[in-house]
Structure 1
Amino acid sequence: MALVGDAYAYFDRKFYSLTVPIADLERIHTGCRWAEGPVWFADGGYLVWSDIPNNRLLRYLPDHGVSVFRADANYINGNTRDREGRLVSCSHGARALIRTEWDGTITVLADRYQGKRLNSPNDVVVRSDGTIWFTDPTYGILSDYEGYKADPEQSGCFVFRFDPSTGSLSVVADDFVKPNGLAFSPDESTLYIADSGRSHDPDGPGHIRAFAVSEDNRLSGGAVFASLEKDLFDGFRVDVEGHVWASAGAGINCYEPGGALLGRIKAPQMVSNLCFGGPRRNQLFFTATHEVYSVFVGVSGCQRP
Structure 2
Amino acid sequence: MKSLHKVAILLISAMFTNSCNSKEELIAEGANLTLVADGFKFTEGPAADAEGNIYFTDQPNNRIMKWNVEDKELSVFMEDAGRANGLFFDKKGNLFACADANSQLWKIDEDKNVSVVVGEFEGKRMNGPNDLWIAQNGGIYFTDPYYQRPYWEHSKQPIEKERVYYLSPGENVPAIAAEDLVKPNGIIGTADGKILYVADIGDNKTWSYTIAEAGNLHNKSLLTELGSDGMTIDERGNIYLTGNGVTVFDHTGKQLLHIPVEKEWTANVTFGGKENKTLFITAMDALYSLEMNVKGQY
* Separation (CA, whole Å) in 1 of partners of 2:23 and 2:72: 33
Partner of 1:50: 57
Residues 6-155 of structure 1 correspond to what in structure 2 (within 5 A)?
14-43=22-51, 45-62=52-69, 63-139=71-147, 142-144=148-150, 149-155=154-160
| SS of residue matched to 1:59 | strand
| SS of residue matched to 1:22 | coil
Residues 197-236 of structure 1 correspond to what in structure 2 (within 5 A)?
197=202, 205-228=203-226, 232-236=227-231
Residues matched between the structures, number: 279
CA positional deviation for 1:144: 1.2
Match for 1:246: what amino acid? L
* Separation (CA, whole Å) in 1 of partners of 2:28 and 2:125: 45
Q: 1:72 to 1:188 in 2, by over 3 A?
A: same
| SS of residue matched to 1:257 | coil
Relative to the length of structure 1, the TM-score reads: 0.86
CA positional deviation for 1:57: 1.1
Task: Give the conservation status (yes or no) of the 8 Å contact 2:19–2:25.
Answer: no
Structure 1 stretches (4+) deviating beyond 4 angstroms?
Answer: 10-13
Match for 1:152: what amino acid? Q
Structure 2, unpaired ranges of 5+:
1-17
Deviations 1:75-122 (A, max 9, x none): 100000112110000001021111012332111001111111101100
Deviations 1:14-42 (A, max 9, x none): 23211124101111111122110001123
Structure 1, unpaired ranges of 5+:
1-9, 198-204
CA positional deviation for 1:222: 1.9
Of all paired residues, the percent bearing the same amino acid is 29
Give the alignment's Cα RMSD to 1 decimal.
Answer: 1.9
Between Structure 1 and Structure 2, which shows a larger proportion of strand residues?
1
Partner of 1:276: 271
Q: Of the two, which has the highest radius of gyration?
A: 2
Relative to the length of structure 2, the TM-score reads: 0.88
CA positional deviation for 1:265: 1.1
Between Structure 1 and Structure 2, which shows a larger proportion of helix residues?
2
Task: Give the conservation status (yes or no) of the 8 Å contact 2:165–2:177.
Answer: yes
CA positional deviation for 1:163: 2.2
| SS of residue matched to 1:17 | helix
